[in-house]
Amino acid sequence: MRLEQLSSFLEVAKHSSLASASRNLHMTQQALSASIKNMEAELGVTLLRRSSRGVALTSEGRQLLAFAADVIPRYRELTAGFTSASGDCLRGTLRVYVNTAFYLARLFSIVERYCARYPRVRVVTSTLNADGIRERMLSPAEPDTYSIGILNVPVTAEGRPDPSFLADERLTFHPLAEGGYHACVGQTHPLARRRSVSLRRLIREPIIGGAADEMCNTPLYSLLSRYGRPNIVLATTSLNLWSHSIANNVGIGFLHDIFLDGAEPFRTYLQGITTIDIRESMTAVTGYLLNGEPGEILKSFISFLPRGNEEET
């Protein structure tokens, strides 16, 4: 059981409502509900009784609440003590820009752990396309404000990040993880029975985009364009809408395989969806973009980012 699960459970108990807790936690209600169900499965007990009026703790839930109410403050006190002992007094605003809603969802647990370690740093996240991220990264910095862009870019035939996404000598791109894309279709879709499918076949289908501006300068659009013009019918930053549309056969989607590790929140988003291998190579690398030398706040945040196939701890 993870500390962020216990923190989420405390929030649910505080409000007696999954909807209210999910808003305060900045996560979807489905993801929060799945997290609670995973805890129940791990412990082999029922923690909540659900009704139209909200949720109530079972006797086992009250026991877990007492445990969480004891452990979480002690953990925060411990990390605060480490911060104080190391003389670490980082403070300021950290702006994190991402070019896909998928990574924004993954950032939740990273930012939560980072803020617990550095409580004086305020973290603000935004979803922009690659051009928007570059523009923000090159804008004059506000006092005590630091910026980092986290994005995935296409890989060239030589296996290097596409230079068209990084065309400014003031910016440096630092790769974290490389991977390919999988096609996502509803479980009753005609393609769901196939083990693999060609891109030429896929781009004849309506495509559900999971980025803020899928038709403009995204790695997925760049990769798809090598095989024809995709017929994109929807581009959204709402992962709920993305998954719901695909599960109901409105269209197909694409998901980078760094998100197919079976962890939340993507396990919830992939309910009702089948993933299929793509025959052609569609490789992109995820990394972070910096303007100049990183200060201590940026260095500390980078240390929280997962590298390669490492699991977040």
- 3-85: CATH topology is Arc Repressor Mutant, subunit A (1.10.10)
* Domain 92-302 class in CATH: alpha beta
Distance CA 292, CA 138 (A): 10
The Cα-based distances of 307 to 90, 152, 175, 303 in angstroms read 23, 13, 9, 9
pLDDT tens digits, one per residue of 44-78: 999 999 888 888 999 999 999 999 888 888 876 77
DSSP helix/strand/coil, 208: strand
- Are the CB atoms for 67 and 11 separated by under 8 Å? no
Kindly state the tokens that stand for 8: 């989420």
The two beta strands, 171-186 and 253-256, are: antiparallel
pLDDT tens digits, one per residue of 194-206: 999 998 888 888 8
CA 179 to centroid of chain Cα atoms: 16
pTM over the 0.75 mark: no
- C-alpha torsion angle, residues 123, 244, 207, 133 (rounded to 10): -10
Domain boundaries, the chain: 3-85, 92-302
Mean pLDDT of the chain: 82
Residue 29's closest CA among 1, 64, 55?
55
Give the pLDDT score at 237: 63
Q: Can you list the residues of the chain whose pLDDT is less than 70?
A: 26-28, 76, 79-88, 157, 163, 165-167, 210-219, 231-233, 235-237, 261-262, 307-313
